[in-house]
Amino acid sequence: MKKADDQKQNDKQDLISVEEFEKLQMEFSNLKELSSKLDGQLKRAVADYQNLEKRVEQGRSELSNWASTELIKKMLPTLDHLEKALKGASEEERKSGWFKGVELAVQQLLNVLKSEGLDEIAADGQFDPALHEAVDTRVGEDNKILEVAERGYTLNGKVLKPAKVIVGRKE
């Protein structure tokens, strides 16, 4: 009998009241809701962080491109002057070692700039106001480029410096 009474006592301890059960159910429901809410917040935070990383990387890339563009813009007048100096050299000067050294240096500079995305604007054919700047006109075929006063360049497809040209006009 004692064993049966002990068993009943243990069963009573194992059993909880309906009130306690409902309280635990409510607590469980609240914890599930909180877990779901925190899970959503975590997912949004991770997505926000990933978007921030993308924006920072894009900003770095734009800053790098801007810096390259500014440096190349500053170098173009020097390139123009060196090329004019090479064109103005006499035949005797063209045979000298210094001339060949300067010519090689200009070619290397052009190769470096081209590797960074610099391209010369074609200035033969029709005048295009998006690519060319008319500095003068002469009698000739209408809207045809007759002469290039100063070369122009694009950098990665964007006009960096328009070509300065002399354009033909009808009489």
Residue 147: give the domain boundaries. 119-171
Q: Is residue 77 part of a domain?
A: no
**In-domain check, residue 113:** no
Lowest mean pLDDT among 3-12, 25-34, 52-61, 76-85: 3-12
Helix (H/G/I), strand (E/B), else coil: 1 = coil
pLDDT at 29 (0 to 100): 95
Tell me the pLDDT band of 66, cut-offs 50, 70 and 90: confident
Query: Is the alpha carbon torsion for 105, 107, 112, 118 positive or negative?
Result: positive
pLDDT at position 166 is 94
Is a pLDDT exceeding 70 seen at residue 13? Answer: no
CATH number of the domain encompassing residue 156: 2.30.22.10
Considering its fold, how many domains does the chain have in total? Answer: 1
- Cα separation, 94 vs 86, in Å, equals 8
Give residues with Cβ within 8 angstroms of 103, minimum separation 6: 86
Neighbours of 168 (CB within 10 A): 17
pLDDT of residue 147: 92
- Whether residue 127 is contained in a domain is answered as yes
Average pLDDT, the chain: 89
Amino acid code (one letter) for 52? L
Q: Which residues of 97-123 are buried (b: 16+ CB within 10 A; e: fewer)?
A: eebeebeeebeeeeeebeeebbeebeb
Task: Tell whether 26 is covered by a domain.
Answer: no
**What average pLDDT does this structure show over 52-57?**
95
Note whether residue 125 is domain-resident.
Answer: yes
Residue 28 inside a domain? The answer is: no
pTM of the model: 0.63
How confident is residue 11, by pLDDT bands cut at 50, 70 and 90? low
Cβ atoms of 86 and 103 closer than 8 Å: yes
Residue 153 lies in a domain: yes
Say yes or no to pLDDT of 157 above 60.
yes
Tens-place pLDDT, residues 104-153: 999 999 999 999 999 999 988 899 999 999 999 999 889 999 999 999 99
Q: What is the SS3 assignment for 134?
A: strand
What pLDDT, on a 0 to 100 scale, did the predictor assign at position 125? 87
- Residue 138 belongs to some domain of the structure: yes
